[in-house]
Amino acid sequence: MMAQQGAMLAAVVLLVLLPLALSCPCPPIPASKVCGSDHHTYDSQCLLLCAAVSGLSVIHHGPCTPVETALGRLFNATQLAAGPAHPPDGQSSWEEWWTYDGISGPGFWGLINPQWGLCSKGRRQSPVDIQADKLLFDPRLRPLHIDKHKISGTLANTGQSLVLRVDQDSKHHVNISGGPLAYRYQLQEGYIHYGTHDGHGSEHTVQGQTFPGEIQLYGFNAELYHNMSEAQHKAQGIVAISLMLQIGETPTPELRLITSVFNKVHHRGQATPIRQLSVRALLPETDHYMTYEGSTTHPGCWETTVWIIINKPIYITRQELYALRKLMQGSPETPKAPLGNNARPLQPLHHRTVRTNIDFFKAQGKNCPTMYRDMHYKANSWAENEIL
């Protein structure tokens, strides 16, 4: 009789847990136990995320106390009576459930989806802080070239960022070449990162200084790969151009094509067309830049990205920035929090080199790291009986 009851209990548990396991993208890897805000002990942060419902978060690391466990049983019974859990806000999959804070924030991206493991374990991650005394001047870096063709696309509020997706069926694509690039890259999309106040916003920083915002333009290697989805997993697959946003009374004229439609993407899921945007005109008038090997700054943090950080900001007015800061993460019915503060924390360089074509130390008569050396090989001669 006891065996039959045990079998029935196991069957019930299996019926309850199997749908959750099948819909959960996280591998059941044991780790330090955590106590969820539902007062239930989870074997890992990953399983906590997989079982999460809206508002669930970590109470503390380690098993729940007996009182918390008792509350957890009551909570779970209530949830089972209400039906199986689904991703918050009716999202189609857990892979879309990532944010810039909380248990779905940058520290947990590598747990939400096992394919995003580089977000947690990668050693060539972005963004980074650009430190002037660690820049390496490379005289062989060429000027960056961007096609003059104008693009059309869609500006969308994804709930995580403001994203510009370029129409790929256009007759003329915008190609990116030169600079540190060995291949031709095709512009695909752009992301706008910004803060809810002036002291925070950009993902990359320069000498520890944060800018109010940063526009990142991504392109894929069109000579080796067919699209961004393929290129992001492959060597030399992606280029990312970083444009820092600074507040000014005279805005960058081409930027107005984007800022003028902020009111049409106020909530998640809203989108509006962008027509005849010149990416070349959007860039500031300078040939100077910094470059390093890194990753995308959004999941899955692919370490296939050549970063080019332009050494001059573009300008946005306070009025335009105010309109940008009014955008919300959620729908009109549940607007949630402002869309801003969508910046991934700085990542360590791990001995990577940041190169630049700015020879400002030479202009000031200072000695700095450089790749410009008068060096050559010399063939030595030695006697036949000489010991090497």
The chain-wide mean pLDDT, for the chain, equals 81
DSSP per-residue codes, 322-337: HHHHT-BSS-SSS--S
What's the mean pLDDT in 318-336? 94
Instruction: For residues 269 and 324, give the distance between their C-alpha atoms in angstroms, rounded to a whole number.
Output: 16
Q: What is the pLDDT of residues 53-93, one digit of tens each?
A: 444 556 666 777 776 666 555 544 443 343 333 444 444 45
3-state percent breakdown (helix, strand, coil) of the chain, nearest 5: 25, 25, 50
CB atoms < 10 A from the CB of 382, how many?
8
Nearest to 354 by CA among 118, 129, 121: 129
Is the per-residue pLDDT at 375 higher than 60? no
Which one, of 218, 223, 168, 156, lies nearest residue 190 by Cα? Answer: 218
DSSP-assigned states of every residue in 196-225:
SSTT---SSEETTBPPSEEEEEEEEETTT-
Give the rounded percent of residues in the chain with a pLDDT score beyond 90. Answer: 61
Q: Is 225 a catalytic residue?
A: yes
Per-residue pLDDT tens over the stretch 170-184: 788 999 999 999 999
Domains of the chain are: 34-75 (no CATH), 121-356 (3.10.200.10)
Q: What's the whole-model pTM score?
A: 0.74
Give, in degrees to the nearest 5, the angle at Cα 246 between 244 and 252. 90
* Torsions phi, psi for 65 (to 5 deg): -75, 165
Containing 8, the helix (H) or strand (E) segment is helix 2-23
Tokens representing residue 358 in the block = 């700015």
Among candidate residues 225, 289, 315, 372, the one labeled active-site is 225
